[in-house]
A and B are shown apart, each in its own frame.
Chain A
Amino acid sequence: MAALLEITGLSKNFGGVRAISDLSFSVDEASITGLIGPNGAGKSTLIETVTGFLKPDRGVIRFRSREIQGMNPHRISAFGLMRTFQLAHEFPALTVMENMLVAAITDGRDSLWKAVLKPGVLKRAQDLDLVHAREVLDTFGLLELRNDLARTLSGGQKRLLEFARLVMARPKMVMLDEPMAGINPTMRARIQDSVRSLAGHGITVLLVEHNLDTVEALCSTVVVMAAGQQIASGTMENLRTNRAVVDAYLGPGIVARAAGG
Chain B
Amino acid sequence: MIDYLVSITTLAVIFAIVALALNVRWGWAGEFDFFVYGLVAVGAYVYAVVTLPPAPKDDPGFIYMLGLSQPFPVGVLAAMSVTGLISLVVGAIALRHLRQVFFGITTFSSVLILTAVISQETRLFNGYNGVFGVAQPFNDILQLPYHQYNLFFLGLCLVVLIVVYLLLERIFWSPFGLVLRAIREDEVAAAAFGKSPYTARLKAYVLGGLISGLAGSLLVSYLTAWNTDAWAPQETVLIFACIIIGGTANSRGAILGSFVVFGLILEGTRFLPPIPGHPDAPSAIRAIAIALVMLVFLRWRPQGLLPERHLIDADPSSTSRLDGIRNLIRRPLRRS
Contacts and interface: CB of A to CB of B under 8 A. Distances in A.
Given A72-B196, A101-B311, A147 B175 contact: no
Interface in A85-101: 85, 89-95, 97-99, 101
Interface string A183-212: 000000000000000000000000000000
Given A77-B192, A85-B189, A116-B171, A105 B179 contact: yes
Contact of A94 (B196, B310, B316, B327): B310
Interface string A119-161: 1001000100011001000000000001111010000000000
Contacts, number: 130
A93 B167 CA distance: 23
A165 interface: yes
A254 interface: no
B92 to A, nearest CB: 16
A95 B182 contact: no
B170 A134 contact: no
Interface residues of B, number: 38
Contact of B193 (A82, A122, A131, A148): A82
Contacts of B191: 53, 72-74, 77
B330 interface: yes
Interface in B180-201: 181-182, 185-186, 188-197, 200
A238 interface: no
A173 to B, nearest CB: 13
B138 interface: no
Interface residues of A, number: 47
B196 A91 contact: no
A149 B193 contact: no
Given A93-B308, A101-B311, A147-B310, 16 more contacts: A74-B190, A77-B192, A83-B192, A84-B192, A85-B189, A85-B192, A91-B185, A93-B181, A94-B181, A98-B310, A99-B182, A102-B178, A105-B175, A106-B194, A109-B175, A147-B332
Going nearest first, the 7 A-B pairs with the smallest beta carbon separation are A115-B174, A89-B189, A78-B194, A91-B185, A93-B335, A77-B194, A73-B191
21 contacts: A74-B191, A89-B192, A90-B189, A91-B182, A92-B185, A94-B181, A95-B312, A95-B332, A97-B313, A98-B178, A99-B182, A101-B311, A110-B174, A112-B207, A114-B175, A146-B313, A147-B310, A147-B313, A147-B332, A148-B332, A151-B335
